[in-house]
Amino acid sequence: MHSRLARNITRTTALKPTMNALRLVSSRNLHIQTPAALYTGMDRLGKTNGVQYGALRQQFRTYADKVVKVPQMAESISEGTLKQWVKQVGDFVAQDEEVATIETDKVDVTVNSPASGTIIEVYAQEEDNVSVGGDFFKLELGDAPKEGSAPTPKKEEAPKQEEQEESKPKQEEQPKKVESKPQEQESKPKKEQPKQQPITEEEPVKVYGNRNETRVKMNRMRLRIAERLKQSQDTAASLTTFNEIDMSGLMQLRKEYKDAVVKKHGVKFGFMSAFVKASAIALQEIPAVNASIEGTDLVYHDYVDVSVAVSTPKGLVTPVLRNVEDMSFVDIEKNIAAMGNKARDGKITIEDMTGGTFTISNGGVFGSLMGTPILNPPQSGILGMHAIKERPVVVDGKIEIRPMMYVALTYDHRIIDGREAVTFLVRLKEMVEDPRRLLLDV
């Protein structure tokens, strides 16, 4: 009796420091790795000390697991398509490190890890649709494993050994198959197949060329572009007016100052800045072209936010240049270059494309001579630029060869009348043909 009591006192005394440490750690919400032997000791003493260490043990087991949710991508986006897992199950990820890429209707969103740890489970596969707020992956919190402490793939070796063992009986069965071949060969002469040779049939017509087809699933951005373009055609009363611009004056200005602009500002002096600036002035003079419809209201904007169409491998995107009425030529060129690089690198954000009161599309970079642009809803106007071609024109009663560009304005006839659309395009033509008007505001 006395010896049994002494043993119990010894066990309790030995585990008491550990139990006190567990109470302290649990109160501070820290994560520790508890040996299995300690769990056994706690279970033995749980009933004696009146503490439910079984529940505490379960807490320590699950405290390190964090389920990461699909993040909020934008106000108007509630789901996306998982395009790529950058990290896999078993990989360690640091805090704010990229884990996956989700494709949305507008841009690709990168999902970063909210904490450091090891990925132990994923809840979606590539090409699956994921909803905002849904379970995405499970993370075991912890620091990076030390070198040499990474677990060895022992579990993968066991199946390999089983496969080797299973392959041995197959090798033994191979002679049996060889033995059966003579029987088949002996049975072949019994069949009188050569008698069927006299039957003559017409030779099939030879088909030339390749007739294969490839079916590719449309990505979310392409689907969204198709939906918006069709919505634009179904909703707006679109009409297009054309004009032509003599580019001699702007080309001469660019020729004289393009090197100086690059040297001082580090940006190329192109034609887009002149068209954006001229459009901003014309939009302020004719506010209907800068307006939009919301329900039964007409919304007139006192500012000019120009959406510039940029072609990317996944589709057309329209980053927005805000308050261009206050920008200079150089400021516009810098912003266009920055937005274009972000769009082509796939780093453009939804905020970069939100808004816009007017759109400019330059199909001339691809050699388009003339085209009809489609409205970008809810905007009421879009300007289409085209290729510069030398053509004979009449100047002061004489025929001269001048670099000419066709321009097109597609507008929503529900807001803009023909007089306003034509006036806008003529005003734009005057300022681009004589860039000095942009400086003198005449």
Could you tell me the two tokens for 85?
């897992």
Long-range contacts of 193-198 (CB under 8 A, 24+ apart): none
Other CB atoms closer than 10 Å to residue 380's CB: what's the count? 27
Beta-carbon contacts of residue 344 (< 8 Å; ≥ 6 apart): 310, 312
**Residue tagged 């003579």 (tokens):** 182
Which residues share a beta bridge with 125?
none
| Interacting residues of 288 by C-beta distance below 8 A, sequence separation 6+ | 300, 380, 415, 416, 417, 420
**Which residue type occupies 147?**
E
Residue ranges in 272-383 assigned as alpha helix (H): 272-285, 329-344, 350-353
- C-alpha–C-alpha distance, residues 177 and 13, integer Å: 72
Within 10 A of 384 (CB to CB), how many other CB atoms are there?
24
The residues carrying an active-site annotation are: 413, 417
Q: Supply 129's token pair.
A: 């649709």
